[in-house]
Each structure stands twice: as structure tokens, then as C-alpha cells.
């Protein structure tokens, strides 16, 4: 009877509002892109994970349309029963080749890839050592295992080493980290992580959702950026950010790992095959970025220009080389107010304050895209300056 749940939800919903944690979703009335329409207002968009600018383009839509025309709308089946089509195998091959792993396996989302990974390999005899700021999907995925769980301080290699030492009696040890941490734009020190993994006989798992197509000279992600290709054991990623933006995801790994996932991974086995339109669009974006390395370069130069101009204008610019660029504010209120004023000026960014981020770490998280022009970046900085003066 719903009467038992209703009062609980009413109290919870009110409590979310009372704590100022209520999330209002702005309704976008245009395709995703460099410019979007909210209501009847046109805005320059600086808060999507559309790093390479593919979302909303004719190229991805046409590739998706062509795949739908060739392969039909949906499989109405999981992969192992009646759901594997030629295009799924083609995308797995293309993804593994691009990222230089033995093989790839598709999932409906990166959340599901993470959930499907840990419980397949790690049980009560094993230990999982996870960065404290890892994405929610890694945290939930680890909770679903019966392994010993250890959390190390964010990117703190001394703490990671201590944790590794403490689980030397376990059958397996795995270090789990985001390649890029989405709130701060921090890039995981994979070099040091892989060195520790070698020293303490541990496996390395990286969630490169924000890095595939973004980091490294040719967009092969955090391993390419940090020079650790060949040293990461499991890498999860998404087609739902830089590689098109619709959804779908993958794990790339050693051959035996992928073979075993196909036999045992529950979120693969018991969930529909990845949608073919998205497969077609993802094949298109993978091919495009390999033929057009200037796209990744444009993202890098846009990011560098924004960081430089904002620093020169006196703003506190956090993060590093990743296009996630947090602009820090001393006062909580200023971050949220500045984002609101920027919206009025035709710029779409989001302000984060406590309790979404720690006290004293309020910020506007700006996300740069290769689709932005140099003029867009200069205008963004100008607007930050104008609004802050006001
Ligand atoms: C680090 C990280 N991992 C996983 C995910 C989930 O990706 P997907 O949308 O493909 O489920 C996200 C998305 O926000 C993410 O930022």
C-alpha cells in the first residue's frame, strides 16, 4: 500500500529542499552543442561532456541513421541469446584497436560496465583499493562484491601504498581509479599507481569516461597521457561523452578477461545489446578522431587558452590540462550567483557549492569543447570579468 511510502517520501523531499540540495533540470529545446536553446534563450554552452563537439552534429546523426537503416531498430535480446549483430563486433574491434587492448566488450552504459566488472572477478578472498573521489558507479560496483574494500585519500600515493601493504595476504588486489576526476579535472597519476601495482602485485582498473577521446596526443586517454599504455589491466569508458554523447560503453582488457566477462558479467549477460544507432555513431567518431588528430589538438589549445586568459584576469583556476576547468570562489554564494548572472549574459555554466563540494571549495565547473571557437573562449572570459565586476 502506497500509504506507507508516501509520508516517508514527502519528508525526504522536503528535507532535500530544506538543505538547498534540490536539483532543477533546465529543459533544453535544441540539439546538444556549442550553442543551445533553453526556453527561447540562446546560450553558449560550457557545461557538457561534449569534449570533441560531436553531440548534435549531422555527422553522428547520419552515421546513426545509416546504422539503423542497415541493422534495424532494436534486437529485443541480450547479446548471447539473439542480440549480437555484425556492428557490435565491429565496434568492439574498433574500440580495442584504438585503445590498444586485446579486446573490448560493450555495455549499455559505463555505470553498467563498472558494475559488471568488479563482481565478475573479485570475491571474499580479494581486496579492492579505491580512490576516495571515485565515481559513484565504481563505489556502487565495489559494494556489490564481497571483497575487502579499502579507500585511499584522493591521489595520495603514500596512503595507497599503506593500503596495499595491508592486503598482501589476499588472493588478488586491484587498485580502482577514475582516469579523470569529474569535479576537479584531476588526472590520476597512473605512472605511480602502476609502479605501486607492480611492487605489490596488484591489478589496475581505470575508469576513463572523461578521458577517452580527450587526453593524450591522439585521444587514447589517461594511459596515453601518462605513458602507461600496456600497464592498465581493465579500462572502462563511455561513448556517451567525447565519442558522440548518446550513451553506450565498453570495457577493454586482456583477452581472457573479456572472454570471461562474456561468460559471467551479469550486466552484460542480462541486459539488452547496445543500441545499433549509437554503435554506428561511435564507429564514426572513433574513425573521425584517428583521421583528424587536429580535433584533439583543438580541444587542448582551447583549454590552454581559457586557463591562460582566466589566470591573467586574476581568477583562481584549478584542475590541470583536462578541459574540466574549475574556477574557484572564496564565498559559496559567489559561485552560484556568478553562474546565474552568466546565464543572463548568454553563457551556460553551473556553480557548485557546499554540500555538493566541500566547504570553501565552491566553484564554477567550466567544460571546454573542441567545438568552441577562440572567440567563444574570449567572450566567456570577458563575461566572467564583467559579471564579477558587477
Ligand atoms: C567517471 C565516470 N564513470 C562513469 C560514468 C557513467 O557513464 P555512463 O553515462 O556511460 O553510465 C560517468 C558519468 O557521469 C563518469 O563521470
Q: Which atom of ligand 1 is nearest to the CA of 178?
A: 1
d(C-alpha 211, C-alpha 207), whole Å: 9
Distance from residue 389's CA to the centre of ligand 1 (Å): 36
Summarised one tens digit per residue, pLDDT across range 267-280 is 999 999 999 999 99
Q: Considering 166, 182, 271, 301, which one is annotated as catalytic?
A: 182
Average pLDDT rounded to a whole number, residues 356-365? 88
Q: Considering 210, 322, 372, 383, which one is annotated as catalytic?
A: 210
Average pLDDT rounded to a whole number, residues 110-119? 98
Distance from residue 300's CA to the centre of ligand 1 (Å): 22
Residue 259 has pLDDT above 80, yes or no: yes
Across 64-78, 165-179, 342-356, least confident range: 342-356
* Residue 256 pLDDT: 98
254 is an active site residue: no
Q: Which atom of ligand 1 is nearest to the CA of 249?
A: 10
Q: Which atom of ligand 1 is nearest to the CA of 180?
A: 1
* Residue 390 pLDDT: 66
Q: Which atom of ligand 1 is nearest to the CA of 111?
A: 11
* Residue 140 pLDDT: 97
182 is an active site residue: yes
Long-range contacts of the stretch 76-83 (C-beta < 8 A, 24+)? 76/272, 77/272, 77/273, 78/268, 78/269, 78/270, 78/271, 78/272, 78/273, 79/106, 79/262, 79/268, 79/269, 79/273, 80/262, 80/269, 83/272, 83/273
* Residue 287 pLDDT: 98
State whether residue 376 is helix, strand or coil.
helix
d(C-alpha 368, C-alpha 49), whole Å: 8
241 is an active site residue: yes
For 39, the grid coordinates are 526556453
Q: How many residues are present in the chain?
A: 390
Q: Considering 241, 298, 322, 361, which one is annotated as catalytic?
A: 241
Q: Are 67 and 276 in contact (CB under 8 A)?
A: yes
Closest listed residue to residue 302, CA positions, set 329, 323, 332, 281: 323
Average pLDDT rounded to a whole number, residues 76-97? 97
Q: Which atom of ligand 1 is nearest to the CA of 181?
A: 1
Ligand 1 pocket: which of 110, 282, 323 to mutate (most atoms <8 Å of CB)? 110
Confidence band for 23, pLDDT divided at 50, 70 and 90: confident
* Residue 99 pLDDT: 98
d(C-alpha 270, C-alpha 275), whole Å: 15
* Residue 389 pLDDT: 79
Closest listed residue to residue 352, CA positions, set 313, 325, 383: 325
Average pLDDT rounded to a whole number, residues 339-353? 94
Average pLDDT rounded to a whole number, residues 339-367? 91
Q: Whose CA is nearest to atom 7 of ligand 1?
A: 110
Sorted by sequence, the CB contacts under 8 Å of residue 51 that are 6+ apart come out as 213, 214, 241, 242, 299, 323, 367, 368, 369, 370
Distance from residue 133's CA to the centre of ligand 1 (Å): 13
Mean pLDDT estimate for the chain: 96
Average pLDDT rounded to a whole number, residues 308-337? 94
Residue ranges and CATH numbers for the domains of the chain are 21-50+293-389 (3.90.1150.10), 58-291 (3.40.640.10)
* Residue 316 pLDDT: 96
Confidence band for 82, pLDDT divided at 50, 70 and 90: very high
Distance from residue 43's CA to the centre of ligand 1 (Å): 25
State whether residue 98 is helix, strand or coil.
helix
Residue 183 has pLDDT above 70, yes or no: yes
Count of C-beta atoms within a 10 Å radius of residue 132? 12
**pTM (global) more than 0.85:** yes
Q: What percent of the chain has pLDDT over 90?
A: 91
Q: Whose CA is nearest to atom 13 of ligand 1?
A: 209
Ligand 1 pocket: which of 49, 55, 111, 241 to mutate (most atoms <8 Å of CB)? 111
Q: Which atom of ligand 1 is nearest to the CA of 114?
A: 4
d(C-alpha 242, C-alpha 179), whole Å: 14
Distance from residue 110's CA to the centre of ligand 1 (Å): 5
Distance from residue 249's CA to the centre of ligand 1 (Å): 9
245 backbone dihedrals φ, ψ, rounded to 5°: 100, -5
Residues with CB under 6 Å of ligand 1 are 109-111, 135, 137, 178, 182, 207, 209-210, 238, 240, 249
Across 83-87, 128-132, 222-226, 357-361, least confident range: 357-361
Distance from residue 209's CA to the centre of ligand 1 (Å): 6
Amino acid at each position: 500500500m502506497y500509504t506507507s511510502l508516501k509520508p516517508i517520501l514527502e519528508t525526504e523531499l522536503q528535507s532535500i529542499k530544506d538543505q538547498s540540495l534540490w536539483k532543477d533540470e533546465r529543459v533544453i529545446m535544441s540539439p546538444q552543442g556549442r550553442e543551445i536553446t533553453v526556453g527561447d534563450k540562446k546560450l553558449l554552452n560550457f557545461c557538457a561532456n561534449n569534449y570533441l563537439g560531436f553531440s548534435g552534429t549531422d555527422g553522428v546523426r547520419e552515421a546513426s541513421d545509416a546504422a539503423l537503416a542497415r541493422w534495424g531498430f532494436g534486437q529485443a535480446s541480450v547479446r548471447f541469446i539473439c542480440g549480437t549483430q555484425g556492428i557490435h563486433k565491429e565496434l568492439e574491434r574498433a574500440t580495442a584497436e584504438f585503445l590498444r587492448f586485446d579486446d573490448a566488450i560493450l555495455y549499455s552504459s559505463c555505470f553498467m560496465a563498472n558494475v559488471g566488472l568488479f563482481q565478475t572477478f573479485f570475491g571474499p578472498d580479494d581486496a579492492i583499493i579505491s580512490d576516495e573521489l571515485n565515481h559513484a558507479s565504481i563505489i556502487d560496483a565495489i559494494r556489490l562484491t564481497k571483497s575487502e574494500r579499502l579507500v585511499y585519500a584522493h591521489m595520495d600515493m603514500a596512503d595507497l601504498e599503506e593500503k596495499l601493504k595491508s592486503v598482501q595476504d589476499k588472493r588478488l588486489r586491484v587498485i580502482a581509479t577514475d582516469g579523470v576526476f569529474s569535479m576537479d579535472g584531476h588526472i590520476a597519476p597512473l605512472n605511480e599507481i602502476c609502479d605501486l601495482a607492480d611492487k605489490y602485485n596488484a591489478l589496475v582498473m581505470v575508469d576513463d569516461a572523461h578521458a577517452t577521446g580527450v587526453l593524450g596526443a591522439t585521444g587514447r586517454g589517461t594511459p596515453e597521457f601518462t605513458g602507461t599504455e600496456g600497464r592498465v589491466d581493465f579500462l572502462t569508458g563511455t561513448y556517451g561523452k567525447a565519442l558522440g554523447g548518446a550513451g553506450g560503453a565498453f570495457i577493454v582488457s586482456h583477452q581472457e578477461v573479456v572472454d570471461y566477462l562474456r561468460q559471467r558479467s551479469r550486466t552484460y549477460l542480462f541486459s539488452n545489446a547496445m543500441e545499433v544507432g549509437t554503435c554506428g555513431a561511435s564507429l564514426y567518431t572513433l574513425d573521425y578522431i584517428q583521421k583528424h588528430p587536429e580535433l584533439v589538438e583543438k580541444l587542448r589549445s582551447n583549454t590552454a587558452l581559457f586557463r591562460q586568459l582566466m589566470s591573467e584576469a586574476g581568477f583562481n583556476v584549478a584542475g590541470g590540462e583536462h578541459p574540466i576547468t574549475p574556477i574557484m570562489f572564496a564565498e559559496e554564494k559567489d559561485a552560484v550567483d556568478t553562474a546565474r548572472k552568466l546565464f543572463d549574459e548568454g553563457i551556460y555554466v553551473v556553480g557548485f557549492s557546499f554540500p555538493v563540494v566541500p566547504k570553501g571549495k565552491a566553484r564554477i565547473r567550466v567544460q571546454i569543447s573542441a567545438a568552441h571557437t577562440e572567440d567563444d573562449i574570449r567572450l566567456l572570459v570577458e563575461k566572467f570579468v564583467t559579471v564579477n565586476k558587477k
